Structures are given as C-alpha cells and as structure tokens.
Structure 1
Amino acid sequence: MFRQPPKDAEISQPPTDTVSEIAFSPNSYLLAGSSWDNQVRVWDIQNNGTSTGKAAYSHEAPALCCAWSRDRNKGRMLDVATGQAVQIAQHDDTIRCIRFVEGDNASPIVATGSWDKTVKYWDLRQPSPLGVVTLNERIYAMDSLHPLMVVGTADRKVHVFDLNNPTQPFKTLDSPLKWQTRSLSCFVKKDGFAVGSIEGRHPVTGTFCTAGSDGSIVFWDKDARQKLKSFTNLGGPVLSTTISGDGKILAYATGYDWSKGFQHNDGTTKSTIFLHSIAEEDVKPRTK
C-alpha cells in the first residue's frame, strides 16, 4: 500500500495519472510536471515546503515531457503569467523529449526528439523548424547544457552534438549499458554526461542523483565514484527527479511505472510528487 515518506512534503493538487517528467525552473521555485492524464501543471514552491498551483493546461493526449526556458517561465509554450498556451512543434509521431537549447543572450531555441526518429530545432518566433536531424532509431532520451546536447536512441546509441553545429552529431557512441536507454543528464561542467537504463544500474561517473523502480534515490560523487546518501521505501517506483537551481530542494515523482503492464496496475500506488529539503552534508563530496 502507498505510504507517504517521512519529512517529505507532498505537492498540492498532484496529477491524477502517472507523472512522465518534472522540472524545476532554473531561476525560481516554479516546478513543472507533465503527466499521462494529458495535463502539464506548474506549482509555486515555498521555502517551507508548501506548494500552490500556479498554472495548468491540457494536451489532446498524454504529455510525456516538459522543459523550462532559461530566461522565460514558459513550457511548450505556456506563459505562466497569462495562462496562454500555444503549439510550437510538430512531428509525425510521439514527441518524447523537449529541451531549451539556447546559449547566453541567444534566441529562444527549442529542440524536440520524437519516435519518428528525428530531432528538430524550433525558433519560437517561426512556425517551421530551423533544422532537422534524422537518426537511425526512435529518440528515447535527451538533455542539453549549451553547447552540449546528447540524444539517446532505441538502438542503444548516444549521439553527442555540439550546438554550434546542431544538425550533425559530433560523435556517436554505444551506450555503456546493456539495455534500453531511459535517461540522459549532462554534467554541470559540460564535460560529459550520465546514462540511465531499464536494467537498474547506472554509470557512476561532481554530485548527482539516480532513482528507479525500486523506490529509492541515491546521491553520488561521480569523481570519487562514491555513494553519498540513500533514501529507500519512497512509496513506489520513482519516475522522475529534479533539483532546484540553488540545489536546496529535490522534487521526485512516484507512481506506477507500467513495467508490468495494465493488468498489474491495482491502484494502490498513488501518482504524486514529493519535495525533499537537501542537506548539504548529504550531497557534498567527502574529503579524501
């Protein structure tokens, strides 16, 4: 049965179905979440862990991803101040990933990755894509910190892009993991990236966190290849995590992950989001 983890605050008005992705605004305590109930929601998180609904809008189908602009509180594009939402991208199949990829003082450029095997770049001021990259397989994961962008595909390839030349992969690598790529995350120093898979392990390669269907979250020091802190029994599979821009709040979504199909979804695993206050000693690399 579902039980709330101790000391972690549950988000107000959580999604009514499985959460696909959550993301903190890089400049504020605004938290966005996309869900299989077709909704994208935005919450305003307070320092004491309370939260209030800020904005929401509906898609015509499940929303599988969300992202924030660096200098605008918008997502796909939802203007949080006005509540207006407009379509900014179009693919021939499901859009699985979306990231803002602009550099400092640059135009608002969005990259989308789709199961139609393409990555498209969009200037929010224009209706047609700026560029299209066709890959060999469906896009399953993507992350970017300008000028680095990495894209994971269904054939266990990881395509590395230099966004100064965005329509041609800089290099293509085989995933170091044996199974399907589920997540990618660029290092803050932009000198590498982490890969997550369905097999339940990860590359321990800075500090970052991993989470999984075993209902646990682990903080790691990639340089020392050392586990820093573990949290277990979090009420169900952990579906997505995000850390606030100042590094003080960890948000994590729990719910049924559909790994065993519809017939095993008995409704006892609640779809929700929790907020965890990060203690410095839990994530600070330890002195050798």
Structure 2
Amino acid sequence: MSEARSEYKLKNPPDDAISSVRFAPKTSYVLIVSSWDSYVRLYDVLGNTVRTKYTHNQSPVLDTLMTEANRVFSGALDGTIISCDITGDQKYTVGQHEDAVRCLEFSEDKNIIASGSWDRLVKLWDARSLGPIGVHSQQDQVYTMSVKDEMLIVGTSSRKIIVWDLRNMSQPFQQRDSLLKYQTRCVRIFPNKQGYVLSSIEGRVAVEYFDSNPEVQKKKYAFKCHRIKEQGMECIYPVNAISFHFSHSTFATGGADGFVNVWDGFNKKRLCQFHRYPTGISSLAFSNCGSVLAIGCSYLGELDETPQPALEDCIFIRNVTDQETKPK
C-alpha cells in the first residue's frame, strides 16, 4: 500500500549514519541511500519498502547516485568505486582512489561520472563503458562537488572553489576562495548555471555568481542560518546539505540543528522552515519534479558529548507544496 501522508518515515533505515540520499533520475519514488553501515539501499518510497541493497565490501559508503540506465554508483571510505546493475544485481569495481571517495556526480549531458576524493583528485569515468576518462588534481582534499550539464564545481578542504568545464579539462575554468571563512560543507550549482550556493560548518550559506562582471559580482552575498539560541547562548550548527528545486530555483538547506529551511536565493528570503527533526540533517534531495523532498537524519559527531542513548538514523519523505517552495 502506498503512503499518502504529507510526511512519513521510511521503514528499515540504515544501521549507521546516512551519508547521502538521492532520487533516481526523472522519478519521485525511487530513492538511493548510502550509509556508514557499508550498504547502499534502493527504496520504493511509495510502497515504503527496500527494493534492493548491496554491500560495499564492509567499507562505509560516503556517496551514491543512479543513472537512467538502472545503474547505481557508490564511493567508499576505502577509495573504491562500485557500480551495480540493479536489474541483474551485478556489481563491478569501476576504479580506485588512494583515499576516501567523498563525493560522486553524474553529468547526464556528457554521460560522465565524476569522483572526488580525499586524495586530492577528481577522476572521470564513462558512465556506459565504466572506463576511465581522466585524472585531475584539485590541490587539496575534495569535500564536495556539484555537476550541471558540462559544468563541474569542486569545494576543497582549504576553502577553494574550483570550476571545471567537462568539455575541456586541460585547466580549471575558474578558481576562487570561498566567500565563507570556515570549512566548506556543501556546494550546489544553480539550475540555470549562473552561480552556486555554498554552505559551511559555521551556520552560514553563500550565494555566488560565475560571471566576473563587477555588476554581477555585486549580487553575491552570505547569510547566517541554522543557529539556535539556547539558555542565553547562540548555538551555531554546520549546514550539511543543500538541494535545489529544479523548477522554482529555490533551495533547501539542512543543518545539524535538525531543521530544514527553504530559501528564495534570488530575493533573499526564507520561504519556510519545517519542524525540528529527531537529529541533524545529513543529506537532502528534491525529486526531479520537485514534489517530494527526501530528508536524511543522522548524528555526525558535531556535539562535544555524544548523545545518550544514541540518536536514531532515519529518512523522512515529505510531499512539498508550491506554497513551501515557490518564490512569493
């Protein structure tokens, strides 16, 4: 029986921290989830069931994605990249980094998988043949990436933002320092490719633009968020996740404070805030049509003392409305 409520929790969640939630392309009912329990799970969110899962050789999985060809890719702490054909449940080792694979991105336009690693490299792979295409140094550890068509953006451990054009990887298209003073946590490209949204561990989000024209650069800004006043003190939380609504170009942020906010970045407005979730938000994903938001909740060690009893790792599916996500 399918779920019809505005929000519900998925059954059979991962047994350890959730590292990534992503919808399969062009669906709002197939969700791919990676976890530190070494598994990748594929959920049918309408039926609230686990359709299939596979293990990543007992290594924590830090990111996953799915292409239109029913092929799932995942990257793990041990540096391996695995591809699984979910129709035949066949696994292949695509390649290896010398350190953890922190993030994976797929360019449907170029049919390329990009893997970013703590070994300071981005590697490119052919999504069909699974063969290697190129290896590109990023100067520092790769913490986050985003792809839109031919555009690849990389956020590194030293707060560098490196922009690449997948059509010509001989040198970066742009390099700049983050507008934010503290460690980069997540970056996502605008749906129209004019700029990107960036978050940090210090409760801030920046909106920046690629065009170097001074008039365009005047539009960039940063703002505070995911901060809570408790007992007369302001507690500042990392902003772990960003996800764009592809139709409205608004975006959601998820923080270690357990809140999800939806923002109109162009008009500098917060559109709404959902209720507080049981623990921090580790990952967010709008479905392609924008009607569903997947919310991964996990404690990621951001507090001085580990909560006791241990906080539950869980995934919420929220059916969102235009009132919550459309610019006003």
Same topology, TM > 0.5:
yes
Look up the SS of the partner of 2:323 in the other structure.
helix
- In the alignment, structure 2 segments of 5+ residues that lack a partner are 74-82, 209-248
Aligned to 1:3: none
**CA shift at 1:265, angstroms?**
4.6
Aligned to 1:209: 252
**CA shift at 1:166, angstroms?**
2.7
Aligned with residue 135 of structure 1, among 128, 138, 149:
138
Partner deviation per Cα, 1:52-72 (whole Å, 9 max, x = no partner): 111110012100001122x22
Aligned to 2:165: 162
Report % sequence identity.
Answer: 34
Shift in alpha-carbon separation, 1:125–1:274, aligned structure 2, 3 A: closer
RMSD (Å) for aligned C-alpha atoms: 1.8
Write the distance in 1 (CA, Å) between the matches of 2:282 and 2:250. 20
Partner deviation per Cα, 1:190-235 (whole Å, 9 max, x = no partner): 1111111111121256311111001100111111011101113111
**Counterpart amino acid of 2:22?**
A
Partner deviation per Cα, 1:241-283 (whole Å, 9 max, x = no partner): 001111111110112111237x615343100100011011111
Query: Where do 1:1-288 residues align within 5 Å?
Result: 8-28=7-27, 29-46=29-46, 50-60=47-57, 61-69=59-67, 71-76=68-73, 77-103=83-109, 106=110, 108-124=111-127, 129-204=132-207, 206-260=249-303, 264-286=306-328
**CA shift at 1:135, angstroms?**
1.8
Write the distance in 2 (CA, Å) between the matches of 1:185 and 1:226. 18
Look up the SS of the partner of 1:130 in the other structure.
strand
TM-score by length of 2: 0.79
**Counterpart amino acid of 2:60?**
P
Q: Is the 8 A contact 1:218 1:229 kept in 2?
A: yes
Q: How many residues align?
A: 273
The answer to which structure, 1 or 2, has the higher relative contact order (CA under 8 A, 6+ apart) is: 1
Instruction: Identify, as 1 or 2, the structure richer in strand.
Output: 2
**CA shift at 1:44, angstroms?**
1.2
**Counterpart amino acid of 1:250?**
L
TM-score by length of 1: 0.90
